[in-house]
């Protein structure tokens, strides 16, 4: 058992972030391999928790650099607005948030598919 904030906790968090980065990078490479070099890939951070956003961004940038495609991009949804949008079950996005996210995603697709 460890105390919150201890060096061990920080090392464990960093190892988990590193593992996530490696696995997410491999996932994006697989998506690229299975869908071809012209396919647009948006690696998105969700509006609930941005704690892994840096790893998602790094993975998108790393794969895009490897492939030299300009077609692997990072996208971050705007945070949930609890007053205007409310929450769904267990503080997940509500239907209103999902509609807004769809609009945001459609805008990114239009912008990058031209």
Q: What is the DSSP string of 6-36?
A: -HHHHHHHHHHHHHHHHHHHHHHHHHHHHH-
Neighbours of 56 (CB within 10 A): 22
Contact present, 65 and 83 (Cβ < 8 Å): no
Which pLDDT band, with edges at 50, 70 and 90, does 69 fall under? confident
pLDDT for 8: 61
Q: pTM for the complete prediction?
A: 0.84
| pLDDT band at residue 11 using 50, 70 and 90 as cut-offs | confident
Q: Is the pLDDT of residue 18 over 50?
A: yes
Give the residues across from 42 on adjacent strands.
73
The answer to whether residue 75 scores a pLDDT higher than 90 is yes
Classify 86 in phi/psi space as left (phi over 0), alpha (psi -120 to 50) or beta: left
The per-residue pLDDT for 73 is 96
Statement: residue 2 has pLDDT above 50: no
The answer on pLDDT for 50 being more than 90 is no
């Amino acid at each position: 058992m460890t105390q919150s904030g201890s060096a061990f906790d920080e090392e464990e968090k960093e190892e988990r972030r590193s593992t996530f980065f490696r696995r997410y990078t491999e996932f994006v490479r697989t998506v690229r391999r299975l869908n071809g070099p012209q396919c647009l890939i948006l690696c998105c951070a969700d509006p609930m928790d941005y704690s892994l956003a840096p790893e998602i961004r790094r993975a998108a940038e790393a794969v895009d650099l490897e492939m030299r495609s300009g077609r692997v991009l990072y996208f971050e949804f705007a945070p949930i607005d609890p007053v205007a949008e409310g929450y769904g079950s267990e503080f997940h996005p509500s239907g209103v948030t999902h509609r807004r996210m769809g609009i945001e995603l459609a805008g990114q697709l239009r912008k990058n598919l031209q």
